[in-house]
Chains A and B, each alone.
Chain A
Amino acid sequence: MSVLGGLAMAVLLLVPAGAGLALVALSSYRLGARLNVGAALASFLAALLLIWARPEANLYLRVDDFNIYLIVLNNLVSFTTSVFSASYIAHELETGKLTPAYLRFYHATYQALLFAMNLALLANNIGLLWVAIELATLITVLMVGLYRTPAALEAAWKYFILGSLGIALALFGTILVYLAAQPVMGQGLPAMAWDRLLAHAKQFDPALLNLAFVFLLLGYGTKAGLVPLHAWLPDAHAEGPTPISAVLSGLLLNVALYAVLRFKMLMSANPGALAPGPLMVGLGLLSLAFAGLMLYRRGDIKRLFAYSSIEHMGIIAFAFGMGGPLANFAGLLHMTMHSLTKSAIFFAVGHISQVKGTQRISTIRGLTASHPALGWGLVAGVVAIAGMPPFGVFMSEFLVVSSTFARQPLLALPLVLGLLLAFGTLLWRVHGLAFGVPDNAPAAPVKASVWPMWVHLGLVLLAGIWLPGPLVAWFHHVAVLLG
């Protein structure tokens, strides 16, 4: 049982790492794209295997009830994104925006990113967690700058500076956590293992832990795109290749938030420490309100959905900040739904900007008439992300709002206002994009792969209508665990 689990864990780490190295050497882009998809599929299957066969935790790696679902989600989305990426990249090559040499680099970094994110999710050691997130940051910086246009370089540079700052603050926080643990647990590696830390968290010095959490929240919060540390996010999403926008929004933001939640659990286990909830609620509401306002005047389609990601990260941070079984349940569900929906939207947006040859919203009209599959896919995705029934996002947002009304009616007011604002803007925008008379500009033919998008939207729809019993029971269990 645990041997199989160990094997699955090894596959999750070694396959992306090995595929990354192999892709550096592989010069054929067709073969590269196939290997990319194959490696992502292998990781996804290994992640599924981990559900049944769980390895023993050691000082470095661990699979528990909380991270297993993120591991599965992470590998599912990177698999579907790799399929989307294959057709997206083929088109970029045809139009000459990218050369085969860059593609080699692109595929290798894609697998390296998958490795870094799997490592971050599997890590039991707070030092290792930090290393993995740092690695993921550096890799995504390189990916965002892939097009080498001035705008892409500027976006990558900004992301690099802000991301490294966040990473630096997070490391300081990690050192402080170790310093709090060291008098209780002695020197050495166990004092950085997360499960051991949790077991002893009661005896830690609360003041040190408070200070550590502030640094960690700011540090990893930067990576999660929480306002006021979000400045890198819209640029990085808009200027990088679209598959990377999908992975950034759908996965990397979750990984950063996951790190914050791990430390939040440590804080909650210590009775003397500051309650981490209000800080997260504050940042969450701020992100929601800010992104809601910023959505209104976006002219770039990818930038629009990047702000929508900030909004949703705000909602998730808010839900976990409220705490309690119901809000945590909603937060977990929302993390899943947002990942699936947002990456589906980026799949649609990627192909749309390719056929139209532009990312400017004002020049795109009547998509449902000119490109029915992409147009209706975008409409369905936006309806889902705006939080309309019958999609899963509606359910998780409804749970957040209703649990907030029950406990803190005053906080529910700005929450609902922010949600409505974002809702209205998104629907208004998609109306312009999808309906109306299409312009007669010649559209570039694109061999779009639409099934990754439909799979994601289908899952979100399914979750909105019917969540399987075992999944609900399991979400409940984790929600209680999160405190």
Chain B
Amino acid sequence: MHGLEFDIAHFLAGGMVVLSFLLLYQDRVYALLNIFALHSLVLALAVGWQAYIQEAHHLYVTAGIALLFKAIVIPMALRRIVRQLGIHRTLEVVGGVGRDMLAGAALVALAIMVMLPVTAGADALAREDLAFALAVLLLGLLLMVNRHNAISLVIGFMSLENGLVLAAAGARGMPLAVEISVAFSVLIALIVIGVFLFRIRERFDSVDMQAMDSFRESRRK
């Protein structure tokens, strides 16, 4: 009886997983930022849809925060940082795209196999949402692990946070305090990261994390 409602929720959450895959193989900074903005936009839609079908009005706030900050403000701010630092070059992909895609597919399978049996008691909507959320979370983790540059790390972390917001929205009636704090924490995180990017630039003349790694190796003998 909830046919359409369920399908749309499913479609939006699934869309986030697909976009997470897209994030995995981007090799240009601006493209990465655009896809992330899209990722956040779909998150806002997914959360908004959950707010509508759960009749949980506070979720609209969460959706609004996601739309405003993650889909608009943060990508624009990062774009600005990238332009100022002059690092709009290509991002190297460690280990190749094919391997990442396979690993990503395996992680999605893992997420579904872990979540679906465990949540057998919960309603179908929450189950699907959580499985997708875990998939987005794991894909974000993969992005963070497999990249050496700071921008990819930041995007990976924020896409992971998007997965968390999706999970929080899927859990019926979860109190507002948490969602606001999630959004808020991302904001703080951005400030911290922004500050970091500038300082790292100051010290290393690049945002390539490999520079830091080599520094560390030489220090630890």
Contact = CB atoms under 8 A, between A and B. Distances in A.
Interface residues of B, number: 46
Contact of B121 (A164, A171, A183): A183
Interface in B128-168: 130, 133-134, 137, 141, 144, 153, 157, 160-161, 164, 167-168
B175 A179 contact: no
Contacts of B188: 138
B126 A179 contact: yes
Contacts of A156: 196
Contact of A211 (B114, B173, B196): B114
Given A165-B141, A179-B126, A153 B199 contact: yes
A411 interface: no
B175 A168 contact: no
B174 interface: yes
A434 to B, nearest CB: 24
B8 to A, nearest CB: 21
A208 interface: yes
Nearest to B160: A168
Interface stretch (A187-195, A243-251, A374-382, A391-399): A187-195
B185 A138 contact: yes
A51 B215 CA distance: 49
A150 to B, nearest CB: 5
Nearest to B134: A172
B192 A160 contact: yes
Interface stretch (A124-132, A334-342, A465-473): A124-132
Contacts of B122: 179, 183, 208
A154 B216 contact: yes
B117 A207 contact: yes
Contacts of B118: 207-208, 210-211
Given A127-B178, A131-B177, A138-B188, A161 B144 contact: yes
Interface string A197-214: 000000001011011000
Contact of A187 (B117, B172, B212, B219): B172
Where chain A touches its partner, the secondary structure class is helix
A157 interface: yes
Contacts of B185: 131, 134, 138
Contacts, number: 110
A168 B126 contact: no
B81 interface: no
Contacts of B161: 168
Contacts of A175: 164, 167-168, 171, 174, 178
A188 B175 contact: yes
A141 B157 CA distance: 16
Contacts of A183: 121-122
B18 to A, nearest CB: 21
A142 to B, nearest CB: 7
A235 B174 CA distance: 37
A182 interface: yes
Contact of B174 (A128, A164, A178): A178
A19 B144 CA distance: 37
Given A160-B192, A207-B117, A182 B137 contact: no
B164 A168 contact: yes
Interface in B202-221: 203-204, 212, 215-216, 219, 221
Given A130-B178, A205-B121, A211-B118, A182 B171 contact: yes
B192 A142 contact: yes
A24 interface: no
B107 interface: no
Interface in B86-123: 114-115, 117-122
Given A168-B160, A182-B173, A192-B175, A138 B189 contact: yes
Contact of A160 (B167, B173, B196): B196
Contacts of A150: 203-204, 212, 215
A183 B221 CA distance: 55
B65 interface: no
A425 to B, nearest CB: 18
A157 B203 CA distance: 13
Most chain A CB within 10 A, of B144, B189, B221, is at: B189
A128 B177 CA distance: 8
Contact of B157 (A154, A164, A210, A299): A164
Contacts of B199: 145, 148, 153
5 contacts: A127-B181, A138-B189, A160-B193, A164-B189, A179-B119
* 5 smallest beta-carbon distances between A and B, as pairs: A187-B173, A127-B178, A207-B118, A131-B181, A154-B212
Given A157-B200, A191-B173, 13 more contacts: A134-B181, A138-B192, A141-B192, A148-B199, A150-B204, A151-B215, A161-B157, A168-B157, A172-B167, A188-B173, A192-B178, A208-B118, A211-B115
Interface of A: 125, 127-128, 130-131, 134, 138, 141-142, 145, 148, 150-151, 153-154, 156-157, 160-161, 164-165, 168, 171-172, 174-176, 178-179, 182-183, 186-189, 191-192, 205, 207-208, 210-211, 299
